[in-house]
Structure 1
Amino acid sequence: MKKLLTLVFVLTSISAYSQIGASVNTEMESTIDYKINRFRLGATFDPDVDKWAMVMPSVKYEIIQKEDYTFHAGITLVDLDHVSGVRIPVGIDAFPFANKNFGFVMEVYGTYGTEYEWDLPDGYDDRFFIRGTVGFTYRFGKE
């Protein structure tokens, strides 16, 4: 019970200085971020894979924070069963509307993994690829 009370106290204390956001992109992955100052601790869910291991934890840092946009970079672990890869995302969240809670996310990420199987011609490294995504984002609790 003592551990539970401590956990509740810590989480409610952090929530006073944090913000929660959610987004979905063209890869059909959904992300939930928990923002503390300039850091975003998050989890990305891949609906194409029917296993718990495709919950991918991430840490992102907002390099530039403006009212209308943020520029971020970070790292994401891919396939938690045995950490088969990492992503390095770089992106912009733009909030062009009067309601600054809703916006667009544009992100490019490089993924390096040991277990990807792509049918590529000889001479190409099938363990590294770059993708770009565009999607929507919503910030809860933004005033």
Structure 2
Amino acid sequence: MRRFHLVIVFLFTATTSFAQFGVSFNQSSLPFVGLSYEVNNKFLPELRIGTDNYFDDTSLEVVVSYIFKRNETINAYAGVGGRIQILEGLVVPVGLNIYPFEKKSFGFQMELAPILRESSLLRGSWGIRYRF
């Protein structure tokens, strides 16, 4: 039930304000696909679904990031969220979205995210992002 509440809060937040939908794929030892809404060019709530595993081992993350540095090419962000299922815990992502092309829809992403739990883990990842 807790998972359901997190998804509802994510969707309600994204649809009640000006937002831009996006998808991403990040590669690491814990890879994931993300569905996000960029809200008012400042907030980036994202639902992340673990990949490269069995369906029974699929993890979910809900993260809300604040874009604290924005220019034409680079967005720097930091956030907080939670992870459930495998390696449950608090997630604190810090990263960069880089849009090097003339059309700013497609870009690259680098992120460092500690997963804080009894035995904490530091996840580094890189990936691609597309904004609709």
**TM-score of Structure 1 vs Structure 2, range by shorter chain:** 0.7 to 0.9
Residues 89-100 of structure 1: pairs in structure 2 closer than 5 A: 89-100=93-104
- Between the aligned partners of 1:25 and 1:53, the Cα distance in structure 2 is 15
Could you tell me how far apart the structure 2 residues matched to 1:51 and 1:76 are? Answer: 22
Q: In structure 2, what is the equivalent of residue 5 of structure 1?
A: none
Over residues 24-74 of structure 1, what are the superposed CA-to-partner deviations in whole Å (9 max), with x where a residue is unaligned? 011331011111111111100012252497221111100111111100000
Count the aligned residue pairs. 117
- Find the partner of 1:57 among 39, 42, 62: 62
Aligned counterpart, 1:133: 125
TM-score by length of 2: 0.77
Equivalent pair of 1:53/1:79 in contact (CA under 8 Å): no
SS at match of 2:37: strand
After TM superposition, which residue ranges in structure 1, 4 or more long, deviate above 6 angstroms?
A: none
Unaligned runs of 5+ in 1: 1-7, 115-126
2:114 aligned counterpart, secondary structure: strand
Q: TM-score, normalised by structure 1?
A: 0.72
% identity of equivalent residues = 26
Q: Retained in 2: the 8 A contact 1:76–1:86?
A: yes
Give structure 2 stretches of 5+ with no counterpart. Answer: 1-11
Deviations 1:62-100, CA, capped at 9 Å, x for gaps: 01111111000001201169x930111100000011111
Counterpart code for 1:87? V
